[in-house]
Amino acid sequence: MEQCEASLRRLGTDYIDVYFCHRFDYETPLEETLRALDDLTAQGKILYSAVSEWSAAQIVSASGISSRLNLRPLAANQPIYNMFERYIEQEVLEVSKQAGLGQVVFSPLAQGILTGKYKPGQQAPAGTRGADDSVNGVIRSYLRDDVLGVVAQLDEVAANLGVKLSQLALAWILRQPGVSSALIGASKPGQVEENARAVEIVLQPETLETIDSLLGQVADFAPAR
């Protein structure tokens, strides 16, 4: 609650639309966390409470406690989700649907891999995240020739549709059941405009089948965390 007050002061606003608990807090009883979120909502300081990267079991537990104590339910979960990192499809999506949580996914372009800037058999371009050893701990997991080979083929699929690879990746994400929205990063205004046009793209069944077939080539992908 103190951190919410601090955020409100920094933002210069009276309320926060969606207040996320980033990662699960193992040091605080879940009931205490949920009661605090409910109190903040009752006070009008937040409109909705949400979580980030919670497991299916943690979401189920929170839903049960909220129901038993008649607390306002969580509204969303913020997991990592893209064409390669799809762990939420195993359990999280289903339990979230049952509990009424939408997915506000982050890293939909897989740290920039799904922009096509990284090529199989080539060094990461200078100035990119992949070339910076101080920040590329996660993206290094994607810099495999098999992954980048599939990315190259996905780029061809996008080109045949007359769209950018990033737009194809976002269109695919936004049409997955349970996904409410995707968080994108951009260094230029034009990138925001380009990515936003992904909502206009219609992916036909045969295109989705092609994408699934390509992604099946790296079904064993396990990122380093």
> What's the Cα-to-Cα distance from 209 to each of 201, 212, 213, 214, rounded to whole Å?
16, 5, 6, 9
What per-residue confidence (pLDDT) applies to 137? 59
Residue 186 pLDDT exceeds 90: no
Residue 120 pLDDT exceeds 80: no
Residue 37 pLDDT exceeds 80: yes
The answer to whether position 146 is within a domain reads yes
Residue 153 pLDDT exceeds 80: yes
61 and 118, same domain (yes or no): no
Distance separating alpha carbons of residues 40 and 108, to the nearest angstrom:
30
What per-residue confidence (pLDDT) applies to 150? 94
The answer to whether position 102 is within a domain reads no
Residue 225 pLDDT exceeds 60: no
What per-residue confidence (pLDDT) applies to 103? 97
Strand ranges in 80-185 using DSSP code E only, listed in sequence order:
102-105, 179-182
> Would you give the distance in Å from CA 122 to the centre of its chain?
28
222 and 115, same domain (yes or no): yes
State which residues form the domain around 192: 109-225
The domain that contains 142 carries what CATH number? 3.20.20.100
What per-residue confidence (pLDDT) applies to 133? 57
- Average pLDDT in the chain: 90
The answer to whether position 84 is within a domain reads no
114 and 223, same domain (yes or no): yes
115 and 69, same domain (yes or no): no
- Torsion 35-62-85-26 (CA) sign: positive
The answer to whether position 184 is within a domain reads yes
What per-residue confidence (pLDDT) applies to 132? 58
Structural domains in the chain (count): 2
Range 105-127 average pLDDT: 82
Q: Which helix (H) or strand (E) holds 33?
A: helix 30-42
pLDDT tens digits, residue range 187-201?
889 889 999 999 999
Q: What amino acid occupies position 10?
A: R
Beta bridge partners of 102: 76
Residue 69 pLDDT exceeds 90: yes
Distance separating alpha carbons of residues 99 and 66, to the nearest angstrom:
10
Residue % of the chain over a pLDDT of 90? 75
The answer to whether position 60 is within a domain reads yes
Higher pLDDT residue, 119 or 157? Answer: 157
Residue 135 pLDDT exceeds 90: no
What per-residue confidence (pLDDT) applies to 126? 60
The answer to whether position 88 is within a domain reads no
Report the 10 Å Cβ neighbour count for 60.
Answer: 16
The answer to whether position 210 is within a domain reads yes
What per-residue confidence (pLDDT) applies to 6? 97
